[in-house]
Chains A and B, each alone.
Chain A
Amino acid sequence: MAITGLALVAFLLMHMSGNLKMFISGEAFDHYAHWLKGEGDEGGILYPLIPQGWFIWIFRLGMMAVILLHIYSAVTLWRRAKIANPDTYVAKRRLAQTYSARTMRWGGIILLTGVIFHLLQFTVRATLFSGTADAAPHEMVLGEFSIWWMVVAYAIWMVAVCMHIRHGFWSAFTTLGANTSLKAQRVLNGCAWVIAILLYIGFMIMPVAVLTGVLN
């Protein structure tokens, strides 16, 4: 759970920095997208260490494994908790738990639904609402985020993602043994907030810029 979760956080940081290339130029963004897929003339990422176009598939396979392991761990935890916890208190008061901690499981399902939609939209290009299926990557992004409700939907989804990370980041480090004192607990929770807010801003700034016409 912890290791796969942190791998996903690392992925999100990478993904975020990739998205920000839109601010350099549409070409820079397209170049990055093609580079990942090994579609450029120079062979793309890790070429010639591995054959052209292989990286993206190795990476996708790795991501698939990480996500499946993450979900497998989550389902195991959830199932064990369901068996252990009869949840029959007449009066129940929470003293310490945060909203994020409490919603890791249902929140995770929202995340998964979002991930599937996101992949169908930008990877498979099956659910594009701006008719840009054959356009360059940056045109597709511009098209999709010119739709106001798409930006709203992403803004909401990213709240769920960042809440998940707010608890997940602290929880992962605690599971790995880094919570060594009350002070460490505060530091870890502080870092979790920083990462969550950084990811939120980093991911949302580009769609908002597109919608408001700053990027076009």
Chain B
Amino acid sequence: MMGQEKKPIEEVLDSLDGKKKIAVIGCGGCSTVFHTGGIEEVNEMAEILTKQGKKVTPIGLPFAVFACYKPFSSMFVEKFKKDLKECDAVLMMSCGDGLQTIREILDEELGVEKPIYPATNALGVSGGGPAKFIEKCQACGDCVVGKTAGICPLTECPKGLLNGPCGGTRQDGKCEVDPEKDCAWNLIYNRLKNIGELDKINNFVESHDWSKVTRPRVFEREPLDIHKHLGRTKEVIESLGI
């Protein structure tokens, strides 16, 4: 998931200075989980902006409708085509990925080119929940965790060391950078030991191939049959009694 936080409201209001009609768009994916752009947050934002004398169109996306997935988000966004055409600016309550996907829908599918501003700061791929999330992967394009007991040294270690710990690991096994955090290599060492793969720490790991993160990365995939997959999701949910 994309970890995220709300931008300070002052920064948001600043960016909307002079704009009267605002369309506020949320996200039913990570932004709902992180309380940065779920339907509730979109409505709260609408309220704040209305109090500031702005005319607001709130466009909340329901849970599991990701702003970053065009087939989902465009179905919802296009229903508001008229308001979007008339607005002075769009305020996007999602990560930068969702924001830019929506920008493309507006520009390319709906033909409405508008200023679009972020209400959110994206903080990186992170997993966990329901309350605590930890950044675990930086999408490096060449996963090495098979050598490191399923723990990512590029992300878990602030220096991204691939061949073992630096000289700064604390006496209690915590990281030199953050005394609250375990040293990535202490975790890796112990887990390798537990799973019987300790010999792996003796292997030299080559300098990482960072060419895989030459940006922007573009991928071509077979489009998903959404209706088929939604049907399956329903079946599985029912069969598990969730």
Do A and B truly interact? no
